[in-house]
Structure 1
């Protein structure tokens, strides 16, 4: 729990830093960059994705561990990607830096399109501040999923997940639409905490989903 609080505090710091950056950053040429990361000999991967503000899309289908497209026009926000392996465990991190540049606050573009490998067992942590997110995660071989979102709007589609056993989510002031329908292979323990945000849950009817709701989350709509 302490780790999640620290991640939430880190998200707040990133968002504040980005607000400062937006007010004192040069917007330049629109850049599109592609990057892939080879799985190497990892048998399990922990993936951490941190975006303070922008548009985030995550899905399965990568031939490698990661196939990424980054679109941005603030050179200080060049995405940082790191991958290392220890004892056959891979650790993949992607994060948005918060470097401060010159003055020019308009027309900022920042978008990540990420494809992850469907076959490798994976723990996935996503920290998302503000903007729009589309997370199509049902095809991934997820074991644990942690999502912390601030003021954004996020669609999380886990339809038909074959391996996910635990899903922890913190919703700040944003709106989350979580789809858990489909042909699941196991039960799911889903914990959601929140502030003043709103969450819509689409639940499966043929498996056990234990939903634990806590905090001051503004509104929950559950269907299933």
Structure 2
């Protein structure tokens, strides 16, 4: 981090010095014809140098968000490029806990018996969105409380994401993802879970635990679609477990998918 500050600080000082000399009439050249090529060369050199070092280390925040005695919670996650894992693990008075490389901006507000929480990268980390060499270092590890029903709204970009919801009481999952690799394990004992999936050029794997029935409807576009038809035979326009109507634990999946691949197993 220190070297990065020195490198870019020095580059901006050099650009400023050239502009000052030009304004004073000491340097008789068009400064902008020097600055832009120099800046592009510097960005290229920085990219090559950081590529040989691996992902740039980012500052990591540890966050605990209390549940405030809420009966249920809605968590909205907005994440650009990097890696996200989500599973159970928060306990006691915590709704959510985790580690967030690159920093986190979050807001929590209770309305009635519902705690509404939004998570997004910190404003200070915004610049890393445009620096592919730092994407591998932006890792978020999020743990949720098993005892509280959740509605999850997850929106990601060029990311790698693993959501293990098997032990959680997730009643609603809205997932929108771009050019990503995503694996989701749905709840095993949450009653009725509704899932909406929207994907672009993505690879998504959705795992439905044994003993959980499912009703699946897919608008596949140009995507490669694979559904376990032994568990979820096709009935008209949907795939549906034979015991869907009577199952104590079931999921409804609606998928709107572009190019890429979707596997439900």
TM-score, scaled relative to structure 1: 0.72
How many residue pairs get matched? Answer: 194
Asked if 1:81 corresponds to 2:106, the answer is yes
Contact 1:83 1:91 survives alignment (8 Å): yes
State the 1:94 CA deviation. 0.5
Measured in 2, the distance between the counterparts of 1:69 and 1:129 equals 19
Aligned to 1:107: 133
Would the alpha carbon gap of residues 65 and 202 (structure 1) be closer, same or farther in structure 2, given more than 3 Å must change? farther
Q: Secondary structure at the match of 1:65?
A: strand
Measured in 2, the distance between the counterparts of 1:131 and 1:42 equals 31
Measured in 1, the distance between the counterparts of 2:160 and 2:85 equals 9
Would the alpha carbon gap of residues 37 and 214 (structure 1) be closer, same or farther in structure 2, given more than 3 Å must change? closer
Aligned to 1:165: 193
User: 1:152-191 maps to which residues of 2 (within 5 A)?
Assistant: 152-158=180-186, 160-184=188-212, 187-191=213-217
Would the alpha carbon gap of residues 43 and 191 (structure 1) be closer, same or farther in structure 2, given more than 3 Å must change? farther
Measured in 2, the distance between the counterparts of 1:42 and 1:93 equals 15
Asked if 1:147 corresponds to 2:175, the answer is yes
Would the alpha carbon gap of residues 139 and 200 (structure 1) be closer, same or farther in structure 2, given more than 3 Å must change? farther
Once the two structures are superposed, residues 81-129 of structure 1 have per-residue CA deviations (whole angstroms, 9 ceiling, x without a partner) of 1111011211011112566559x94630211000011111111111111
Contact 1:80 1:96 survives alignment (8 Å): yes
Alignment equivalent of 1:37, drawn from 50, 55, 65: 65
Measured in 1, the distance between the counterparts of 2:56 and 2:264 equals 44
TM-score, scaled relative to structure 2: 0.62
State the 1:70 CA deviation. 1.1
Q: Which runs of 5+ in 2 are unaligned?
A: 1-42, 48-54, 233-240, 245-250
Measured in 2, the distance between the counterparts of 1:199 and 1:98 equals 37
Measured in 1, the distance between the counterparts of 2:66 and 2:121 equals 21
Would the alpha carbon gap of residues 201 and 164 (structure 1) be closer, same or farther in structure 2, given more than 3 Å must change? farther
Measured in 2, the distance between the counterparts of 1:219 and 1:114 equals 26
Contact 2:78 2:154 survives alignment (8 Å): yes
Contact 2:198 2:256 survives alignment (8 Å): no
Aligned to 1:91: 116
Measured in 1, the distance between the counterparts of 2:107 and 2:184 equals 24
Q: Which has the higher contact order (CA 8 A, sep 6+)?
A: 1
Would the alpha carbon gap of residues 161 and 191 (structure 1) be closer, same or farther in structure 2, given more than 3 Å must change? farther
Alignment equivalent of 2:89, drawn from 36, 53, 61: 61
Q: Which runs of 5+ in 1 are unaligned?
A: 1-21, 73-77
CA RMSD of aligned residues (A): 3.4
